[in-house]
Every structure is written in C-alpha cells, then in structure tokens.
Structure 1
Amino acid sequence: MYRTPPQYPPVMPYQTPPPPRRRVLPLLLLPLALFALLFFGGSYAVSPEPEVEMQSGFAFAEVDGRDVVLAPYARHGVRGMFQLMTQDLFQVRLAATDPATGDVLWDTQLSDRLVWEASVLAAGQRHAYLATDSGLVVVALADGSVVAEGAGVPGLGDAFAAVRTAYAYDPDARRVMAMTATGGVVAIGLDEVAATPVDAATAAAWSGRLSVQRGPGAPTSATGVEASLDSGVERVALRQAPGGAPGSVLVRVTADGREVPVGTTAFHGARLVVDGVTAVAAATGHVLVEHQRSVNDPGVALSLVSLATGQVTATLAVDSRVDRALVGPDGVTAVAAGELLAAARGDGRVVPLGIGLADFFGAHR
C-alpha cells in the first residue's frame, strides 16, 4: 500500500543575524550636551547677581483684591551666558509686589536704556500710569503688560513729550494731566487710555505745573527729626540722649508739649522715616528709625520701634539711606533704600521684598 511520505518543514537557508545598531548619534551629542552644561550652567554658577537699584517713584495699587506696591527699578547686568544671549544688559522694570506676603505678582520690562527713570503717577482698577523719560506709559494691572506708551497713546500721538515733568495726576478729578510738545494740556481719565483736550481754565491752571523742559525732579525728604503721629495731635521726635550719652532717643510729644520717653534705646546718626510730615508705621503703633548700625559701624539700618512699649521689634540692615517711604491702605509701609525695597508690617517686622531676582532663564520671580 502506498503511504504518503511524511511532510517536513522546508529547510530555510541560514540567515546571519543583523549586527546590533550602534547609537552613534546620541554618542555624538553627549560631548555637545556636556559642553552646553558647563558653558551655560557654569557661567551662571560663577556669575554674581545683577545690580538692582530701586527708583523712588513707586505707589500702591489694588490687584486682585490685594494692596500691592508698583515699584520701578533698574537692573544692570545679567547672570550667565544664557541671560547674556537672551536678555538686555540694561533694564528698567516695574514689579507688582504684595508687601504683606512678599509675593511678586508680575514683573515686566519697560526700557533697555542705561539711564532711564519711571514714576508711578496713579492706578485705577484696570490700568496704572507712569511718567517716564520716554513719555507716558500705561500698563495693565492684571499682568503688567504695556497697553500704550509715548506716541501710541491716543490723543497724544506725535505731540507727546518724552519728559517726566510733562505728566501729573489730578486726584480731585481722578485723571492724568499731560502737556504736549506744543504746550497744550490734555487729560486722561483714570482707567481710560485716550487723552482728550481740557477747557481753557483747566489748561491755564495746569500750564504752570507741567513742563516739557528736562530738569531735576522735585526734591523729596524721606526722613526727619520730628514727625506727626497718626492722630495728627501728638508728635514723635528724636532728642539727645540724657546725661550727655552718645546717640538720640525717641520721645513722644503730647498735645500740651510734654515729652514722654519712648523706650531707652539710643540710636546713632538717627532720623525718623516719614511719609510727608507723618511718621510711617504710626497707624500700626510703631515708628521707623533710620540709624547707624552701631557707634563703630557707619552702615545703615532700619529699626521698627513700638510706641506702646518702646521696644525695638525688628532691625534690618540696608545698603544706603532711605530714598522714599510710602504708607499703604492697610498701614503697611514700603521703603526704598538703594537696591532694596522693604516692608514695615503691622506685626512688628521689617522684611526685604524679593524684587529683581531672576531664575536661570532670566524669568523674574
């Protein structure tokens, strides 16, 4: 009987397995990655922080229900090669900082000039207005973006004046006043952007207060030896320490002229920090004193003193004398001193606010 031969799988020809693929491309990129890490990361690690200088034209505004400080400042230099390639070497920026928490809500660049100043004139619910060396700048309070500036401000156009003294704020009418390059006077309502002409009487009244001529700003005094307290009746003053001892002590001057000592601490080279003629922090029951750090150290320090107990509740070393101090709606005081913006709080603390700090990529925080 015929039998079907068994079936075997066909014999396949021998195949040599392919050689393993060599990852040539990643190996070639490794030296490049190491070089980039050393070049950019190393330069960042060894570079100092850029120089920061606070400008005195800061103001308070409300952003998202928080009382914040709108603080212009100059930032000179960059940190590391990545920032050198992507950031301007000279910057003037505007930061919105909550002095109660230290949070920086936003920080935006306004200029890339070496010598350039800005002053916050006013802030509404949506916009803030700055007088700058390039004319009027309007920024959005929500994120700090520039809404209009210079010739881009409707109603000013090419007639804008690139000088800070051409702009001021009228608190009674809640509007920003501006003088054009031809001597005309226009106004911008708070939270509006377009400038509109004013009547002849208003123009005449403001013509003597605005100027398109460059010159020094109005002198301001942030310190004094005597100041009013929050009540407006009593005063606080610095007097020579008793017994001929070196330094000055604080006294409270009552309505009938009596002088009551406020603690026994003697301050050397002391001045009271004031907002106008009023002692800052008085609304929170304190006074702020600018003084030498010690009799042998001429460096500057700020001390917050309780009016109730006379105790020094906090002391902060600063790099220079106080340029300006401003009391916010809740009594917190913002103080600009050289490269530092600090806050004197109602809880008896004086803390620096982290303005001008940037990460590796140059993003401000």
Structure 2
Amino acid sequence: MFQDFRAAGPLPPHSQLVRSPYGTPEHPLEPKRRPRGIGGSILGFALLMTAGTFVAATGGEYLTAPEPDVMLRTGIAFSADGLALVPYDRAGSGGLLAELAADVNAVRLAAVDLATGETKWDVQLADELDRDAAAVGAGEQYAYIATAEGLEIRDLDDGALVIDAGDVPGLEGAGTGTAAYGLDPAAGVVALGFDGAFRTVALDALEAVPADPAVAEAWTGRLAAEGAASQLGGMTTTEASIGENATVRVEPTAAGAVTSRLVVSDDGRALGTGTYTEAAIVLDQTHATTAWDIDLDVDGLIDGLLEDPSAAEELIDDPTGAIDLTAPAGTAAGAASGHVLVEHRRTPGGEDYALTVLDLDTGQTTASIDTTDHAGRSMTAPGGQTIVIVAPADGHFQSDLLIVAADGSVDRAEFGALDLLGDPDTD
C-alpha cells in the first residue's frame, strides 16, 4: 500500500543567514574595545622605574665622583696672539654621556689666554692616554700639533681640525710621533722624513716644502723619524744668568746654616731680605735643547800628552780634567720680565714646596704659591710672560699652569673640567 509522506502543506520559503566577522558593506562591524588589564600598566611602570633608577644612579655617581686626574704634558707651544697651547692627559670622571659610554680617558689640547689665564677652547686629541701628542708651534691662524700619526693642523679660533695627520701636502713620508718635529725660529715647523730628508712648514702655511740646507744642517741629529719626544722635567740651579753678564746665586745665610738667601753677582747685593730652606733657582726651558761652543786645542792637547806621559794617565783617570767643558749659566726663569723664581721648602723640615717670585730690581716678593712637588718645565712666552707647570697644594700631579705676568703677579690655569654633557667647561 502506497503511503504519501509529503508534507501536507509546502514549507515556507527561507534563506540561510551568513554572518561575517566584518559585517556587510551596508552594516560593517567594529571590534569591541576590551578594557585594559593591569598587566600592561605594571610592565610599563616597571620599565619606567628601571630606566629612572639607572639614570638616577648614574647621575648620582657622576655628581659624587671625585675630580679627574689631570697631568700636563711638556710639549707646549705659543701662538702669535698670546695663547699657550697645552696638551694634557685626563683620566677619571667625565660628563654624564661620557660616563654612560665609559669614555672618560683622553689626551686633550687646551688654548690658554696668557693675558687672562682663561681657557679659550679645549679639544680632544685622542681617546687613549698612551697616545703621543705635543704642540709644536703656532702662527696667527693655525696651530701645528705632532701626534703618533704625524702632523695635524688646527684652527686657532676654536681648535677645529683643518688638516688631519698624514694629509698635509708635502709631508708624504714624514715621520710619525713627536720626535720627528721641531720648531725653527725662522723656518717654522721642521719635519724629518723616513728618507732622512728635512721639510718645513712655515707658520700659518698649509703645506710643506723641502728645508733649506742651512736649516737641515742645524737640525741634523736633533730629530728622529719615529717615536715620542722625551717629556721635560723642571730644572733648577744654585746660580743662573739674569742678563748683561750678571747672575743671581743661592748663598747660605751662615756657615752650616740650613737657610739661604739670594745674591746678585755683579754688585754682591742681597736680593731682598727673605731667607729660604733648600732654595734653588728655576731655570728657563723654552728651548728643549741648548748648545754652546767649546774651544779645544786638539793639537796642543796631543803635544802635551806626548811630552808628558803622566798626563795621558791623568786623562784616562779623569777624561774631562784636561778639557774645560763648563757650560754657561742657564737663564733664570722670569729674567725676561725682570724677575727670578725660587723653589724652596715652605717650612724647615717640611715636605711641601713653594714657588716664590722676586723682583730683580727691588728684591720684593711679588707672589708666592704653595705646591706639593718640584716645579715642572718653565718657558718664556713671546709676550714676556713666564709659565711653569706645577703640582698644586691640594693635588698629586703636575696639573696646573702658573702664569707669571710682567708685573710679577701670578695667575693659575686649571684643566680637565667637563660639563654634564661632557663638553669642556671653560667658564
């Protein structure tokens, strides 16, 4: 029996509803914003606190860090307009950015105005303390600096690099290191090449030329094609020239006395009324080397040895006894401006030193500065000022530059101060 299973009535018409997560063009759907949880906020806060703590700790370390160690190098030069170009080593704390980069050691070059004692500019030469550097000379526009890589030229206005080491025209093959360069009063900067040839760079020139034969002869044996020039320590003596065939000398105040006074040789007068313990006269070392003529009668010496055999034995025992090798008295530092600088102990039996400036005409003390060690190199600037490298009373290294003016007054230039960003603080 056949059964009809069809519905009694037709199904109503319908269509399947399809939903898209993006909706339809007519009715687009936007995702609901979820409320932010506390996890992201905590993470951001933690990162902010960590960064703040790091900056605070580093900044605090910078603010409480000890003063940097500074030591002046002796390769100092003068410009035509009264600047002293002073290279120095700086080790220790730096600006905040330098502390973050762990870049706190450097060889730097400062330009000091000798009329005011203020630093005009201060630039970095190298970021390693063992790098060789010395100021060789300067004109009115440019400074000439010898480095381990060769000679570089800098602008005297701000210390900016004009020509890098190795790029000076005419100095191809020139020596490297400070021992290869010197300053000739007439020719300017003298350079020795690896080929043994001398070249010169006139002050304020930007290229080198072959040296004149007379200049080459004068500088033969005084330079080396590579290596560092020796650092010059201070020199003192008990008698020094003050010009016009006169000298000043140190004499004990009495036989066996521990104190001394200064006496001018030409008239025997005492220079002032002061007495000093372990006194010594500071010598001028503007020129790194000094030569003098020795009159030696070689033929007469040989004839004398042949006639008197015992003289030959004496010559063997004392090679200098038969020859007068006495050097002329060195020039007293400050003599160019009518002064003499005396180094002495501050107190009998004490450890600290003092540097006292005396007027050669009146004997009056014009200045006296406490130091912790012997004075370093002393030089006379073209303007008549005397500069002396010293270790200050509150320091351990020769970090300061004393400037003795024409009137005998003293200024002190300090080095190595940096601001928060690591730039030189020249104020």
Whether the TM-score (by the shorter chain) exceeds 0.5 is: yes
Map of 2:99 onto structure 1: 84
Kindly state the Cα deviation for residue 281 of structure 1 after the two structures are TM-superposed. Answer: 2.3
For the pair 1:143 / 2:158, whether they are aligned, the reply is: yes
Counterpart CA distance in 2 for 1:154 and 1:36 is 49
Which of 271, 277, 289 is the aligned partner of 1:262? 271
Alignment of 1:192-211 (within 5 A): 192-198=205-211, 203=216, 206-211=219-224
Map of 2:253 onto structure 1: 241
Map of 1:56 onto structure 2: 74
Map of 2:191 onto structure 1: 178
Kindly state the Cα deviation for residue 31 of structure 1 after the two structures are TM-superposed. Answer: 4.7
Kindly state the Cα deviation for residue 352 of structure 1 after the two structures are TM-superposed. Answer: 1.8
Of stretches 182-191 and 80-89 in structure 1, the one that deviates more from structure 2 is: 80-89
Map of 1:114 onto structure 2: 129
Of stretches 133-142 and 239-248 in structure 1, the one that deviates more from structure 2 is: 239-248
- The answer (yes or no) to whether the contact 2:73–2:231 under 8 Å persists in 1 is no
1:171-209 alpha-carbon deviations (Å, 9 max, x no partner): 22x332212223333222221122233466765664433
Question: What is the one-letter code of the residue matched to 2:237?
Answer: G
- The answer (yes or no) to whether the contact 2:174–2:225 under 8 Å persists in 1 is no
Counterpart CA distance in 2 for 1:218 and 1:342 is 18
Alignment of 1:206-225 (within 5 A): 206-214=219-227, 217=230, 222-225=235-238
Counterpart CA distance in 2 for 1:77 and 1:152 is 32
- The answer (yes or no) to whether the contact 2:144–2:152 under 8 Å persists in 1 is yes
1:303-362 alpha-carbon deviations (Å, 9 max, x no partner): 112334433332212233222111223322111121221112234333321222222222
Identity %: 36
SS in 2 for 1:136: strand
Map of 1:162 onto structure 2: 176
SS in 2 for 1:259: coil
- The answer (yes or no) to whether the contact 1:45–1:80 under 8 Å persists in 2 is no
Gapped regions of structure 2 (runs ≥ 5):
1-40, 286-329, 391-397
Kindly state the Cα deviation for residue 57 of structure 1 after the two structures are TM-superposed. Answer: 1.2
> Structure 1's 360 and 293: CA in aligned 2 closer, same or farther, altered over 3 A?
farther
Gapped regions of structure 1 (runs ≥ 5):
1-23
Alignment of 1:305-324 (within 5 A): 305-324=358-377
Counterpart CA distance in 2 for 1:356 and 1:238 is 37
1:198-239 alpha-carbon deviations (Å, 9 max, x no partner): 46676566443332153663866532221222x433221111
Map of 2:419 onto structure 1: 359
Counterpart CA distance in 1 for 2:66 and 2:140 is 38
Counterpart CA distance in 2 for 1:200 and 1:303 is 44
Counterpart CA distance in 2 for 1:285 and 1:144 is 33
Map of 1:272 onto structure 2: 281
- The answer (yes or no) to whether the contact 2:152–2:166 under 8 Å persists in 1 is no
Counterpart CA distance in 2 for 1:303 and 1:33 is 53
> Structure 1's 345 and 296: CA in aligned 2 closer, same or farther, altered over 3 A?
same
Which of 114, 129, 135 is the aligned partner of 2:144? 129
> Structure 1's 70 and 200: CA in aligned 2 closer, same or farther, altered over 3 A?
closer
Kindly state the Cα deviation for residue 126 of structure 1 after the two structures are TM-superposed. Answer: 0.9
Map of 1:11 onto structure 2: none
Counterpart CA distance in 2 for 1:177 and 1:307 is 36
- The answer (yes or no) to whether the contact 2:84–2:112 under 8 Å persists in 1 is yes
| TM-score, length-scaled by structure 2 | 0.70
Which of 321, 328, 337 is the aligned partner of 2:381? 328
- Which of the pair has more CA radius of gyration? 2
Map of 1:152 onto structure 2: 167
Which of 288, 297, 304 is the aligned partner of 2:350? 297
Of stretches 87-96 and 205-214 in structure 1, the one that deviates more from structure 2 is: 205-214
- The answer (yes or no) to whether the contact 2:73–2:87 under 8 Å persists in 1 is yes
Map of 2:241 onto structure 1: 228
Map of 2:60 onto structure 1: 42
Counterpart CA distance in 2 for 1:274 and 1:200 is 32
Counterpart CA distance in 1 for 2:253 and 2:77 is 36
Question: What is the one-letter code of the residue matched to 1:311?
Answer: Q
> Structure 1's 87 and 32: CA in aligned 2 closer, same or farther, altered over 3 A?
closer
